[in-house]
Amino acid sequence: MRISKFLSRSIVLAVIGLITTTANAQNAEANLQALFAKSATESSGNREYVPTEENLQARKEFEQKRFGIFIHWGYYSMPGQGEWVLTRSNVPVDEYLALASAFYPSKFNAKEWIDLFKEAGAKYMCITSRHHDGFSMFDSKYTDYDIVDATPFKRDILKELADECHKQDFGLNLYYSHVDWYRDDYPTGWSANEYNNLKKHEGDYASYYKFMNNQLTELLTNYGKIGGIWFDGVFDHRRDSMDWHFPEQFDMVHKLQPTCLIANNHHRAIQYGEDFQIFERDLPGENKSGFGNAGGVSELPLETCQQIVNGSWGYHLNKMDCKSPAELIGMLISTAGKGANLLLNIGPRPNGTIPEPAAESLRGLGKWLDKYGETIYGTKAGDLSGQSWGSTTRKSDKLYVHITNHPGKDLYMPLDCKVKSAKMFIDGSPVKFDQWKHGIQLQLPDPADGEPVMVIELTTTTK
């Protein structure tokens, strides 16, 4: 019913067009209508996605980065109970909405954030431009429920961050929620359940879809180069058969910015239009988070998102226990060892600053990356990963052995390449080893004080 309404409206839209005020908007509208018309005549399931050359190049560059910062931030940071407070804590919706008019992150400073992320050794960030509560952290002309119109702060946070990212040549990706707990035209799904005060409604998906595409068009036209869009929310309609019309939306994104990489956090196999694969709180191929790994591991660039504190993405006063630099280093090593980028999440405070324990740990990670970054950035998955002693990464004939759990004197590594030499990465001092038929036995030096990881560089025959 909803879908047929969607399609007939699409056809009507395609035929009659809408009156728009600016030339840009007219173009965007024309593109959108063409896509809607397409969706009426073409089934979304059986088209083949052929990425452009520039998109393929962007994927390569993205993979090289290996480390990014995820930021969950909105006015939901005010009660300090994470980004799901509206639904999980069963708070009155009107009271929640009223918080927006008090959101004034007086200490927000885009430069200080990017400076810190760079100091941490990150190469890009991904920020929630709009999370499930539907609040836009950017100035959108398609809603008043945004940072400029609905808060006394009145500054376009995303614009300030985007300008700073571009100035400092720092990658910018945007999280964008497909779920919306605010708009009446969003067809409510699983997350509006008996445990919260959200009103259930059928919605009008055609109208909501158009809203999302209008906003995506704003994000991809007003904020310079966007490295990727990180979509999230499929879970909300897992139990029904809603057709989200992703292929047309993703085509639109690629048309607006061919190098903008798309990922969708659905925990399933890669689908049409996606350029990299997301793993939520799991390494590729593992399923510790319970989100399942039904899709296996694709050939696309991989990214694992993790939290710097345990148990929350958004600022949470009860979940401030921050991972230490050594834990973060271990996390980065095991992620890179699987050939994936680490997207490490922080939840800024309502005043716009980053909690000090998180900042401290990030700086600690950055100090390690200053010395060992070469063994992480631009590498591929190593020949061995997820071992009891650690993991490896590879860059052509160099195999970097990251020992996070020193096993004592000797370390046997099964390898199907020959090792020509072995040395300590940090000072080049040689490491003795025996080459056996199916691997090598390294004679490890004692662990150095204060070094959480021992890194040995092997030069090998390439496989």
Site residues (vs ligand GLC, CB under 6 A): 72, 83-84, 232, 265, 280, 305, 313
Q: Which is nearer to ligand GLC, 274 or 280 (CB)?
A: 280
Q: Contacts for 10-13 with beta carbons within 8 Å, 24 or more apart?
A: 10/36, 10/37, 10/39, 10/40, 10/206, 11/36, 11/37, 11/40, 13/206
- What is the token pair recorded at 112? 């200080």
Smallest gap from residue 233 Cβ to ligand GLC (A): 7
Q: Which is nearer to ligand GLC, 83 or 275 (CB)?
A: 83
From residue 461, give the alpha-carbon distance in Å to each of 397, 417, 420, 458: 6, 6, 7, 10
Angle, alpha carbons 397-400-402 (nearest 5°): 165
Smallest gap from residue 340 Cβ to ligand GLC (A): 14
**Residue owning tokens 């720092």:** 170
Q: Which is nearer to ligand GLC, 231 or 389 (CB)?
A: 231
DSSP-assigned letter for residue 345: E
Q: Which is nearer to ligand GLC, 67 or 313 (CB)?
A: 313
**Contact (Cβ atoms closer than 8 angstroms) between residue 74 and residue 128:** yes
Smallest gap from residue 76 Cβ to ligand GLC (A): 10
Q: Which is nearer to ligand GLC, 265 or 361 (CB)?
A: 265
Smallest gap from residue 280 Cβ to ligand GLC (A): 5
Q: Which is nearer to ligand GLC, 280 or 383 (CB)?
A: 280
Dihedral pair phi/psi, residue 90, rounded to 5°: 55, 45
**Residue ranges with strand state E in 261-376:** 261-264, 277-280, 302-307, 340-346
**Contact (Cβ atoms closer than 8 angstroms) between residue 356 and residue 363:** no
Smallest gap from residue 305 Cβ to ligand GLC (A): 5
Smallest gap from residue 82 Cβ to ligand GLC (A): 8
**Residue owning tokens 């929310």:** 233
Strand partners, 264: 231
In this structure, the chain runs to a length of: 463
Cα Rg of the chain, angstroms: 24
Give SS3 for 81. Answer: strand
Smallest gap from residue 331 Cβ to ligand GLC (A): 15
Smallest gap from residue 338 Cβ to ligand GLC (A): 18
Q: Which is nearer to ligand GLC, 258 or 355 (CB)?
A: 355
**Residue owning tokens 């990922």:** 263
In whole angstroms, give the CA distance from residue 280 to residue 302: 11
Q: Which is nearer to ligand GLC, 158 or 305 (CB)?
A: 305
